[in-house]
Amino acid sequence: MEVVVLPDTARIAALVADAVEDLVRRRPDAVLGVATGSTPLPVYRELVRRRDAGVAPDYDAVRFFTLDEYVGLPAGSEASYRCTIARELTDPLGVDASHVHGPDPSPDGLADAGERYEAAIRDAGGIDLQLLGIGSDGHLAFNEPGSSLASRTRIKTLTEQTRRDNARFFGSAQEVPRHVLTQGLGTILEARHLVLVATGGAKAAALAAAVEGPVGASCPASALQLHPHATVLLDDAAAAGLERAAHYREVWEHKPTWQGL
């Protein structure tokens, strides 16, 4: 796992945008896994800024897969992750809606929604680069503590803490749906490159557990330690709980420039 600690969000966003664009230039029909929440927004704004400036690669053939989705929201709800990704990223990038996929939360199809989503990812050839955030309880996508490290896309129940954390996207915690569909940890681990971004002190404890704690279901994000190509980008506040922070900074400072993320 590569841990990169940077002083500001703008540097993190630029580096992640570079990694995404490098991939799309190398592979114009790349498959991108995208995350929601507040953390990835600076990355999305940077990608859109570059496209508006006319310096971005062509996204016409890129396919996008979201990590997760709420169950029980009215169709077309602005708080749904499908609408969020369209609003923040894929519409401004000019991506055709047919290239943007998410788990299907419609009530009639819930029983096999997970299997259908797994098949769609497989049919696309698997995810090349998966962007990730981390919950303050260590959740990855919506895999809450206790989720199997081998889990696949399925329905899950959110913890009270996650519903409180996500209340800002709704009127109140009570309005945050209790159920979600989420890629499993086993699904996420099959993406070819995992890129996790964490910013702010509220993530410091979860992040330290994920990066330096034991691998286990109690901290779902610790599953990253099992992946051969995982990059974790942090600001100073999110890195505050890391014991080896000085070493990560030294590694980054002396990293050969040809290596990339």
Name the nearest CA neighbour of 59 among 101, 90, 33. 90
Selected from 21, 68, 128, 235, the binder of ligand GLP by CB under 6 A is 68
Say which residue the tokens 């040809």 belong to. 258
What residue spans of 32-109 are helical by DSSP H? 41-52, 81-85
Nearer to ligand GLP, 147 or 162 (CB): 162
Contact status: 38 vs ligand GLP (CB under 6 A): yes
Active-site residue, from 69, 139, 165, 235: 139
Active-site residue flag, 144? yes
- The pattern of x and - marking residues 18 through 37 that bind ligand GLP according to CB under 6 A reads -----------------xxx
What residues numbered 145-184 form the site for ligand GLP, per CB under 6 A? 162, 166
Nearer to ligand GLP, 151 or 162 (CB): 162
What residue spans of the chain are helical by DSSP H? 9-26, 41-52, 81-85, 110-123, 160-165, 185-188, 204-212, 245-253
Active-site residue flag, 137? yes
Structure tokens given for 145: 């503590």
Contact status: 6 vs ligand GLP (CB under 6 A): no
- The helix/strand count (H/E) of the chain reads as 8, 10
Write out the catalytic residue numbers. Answer: 68, 137, 139, 144
User: Which spans of this chain sit near ligand GLP (rule: CB under 6 A)?
Assistant: 35-39, 67-68, 133-135, 141-142, 162, 166
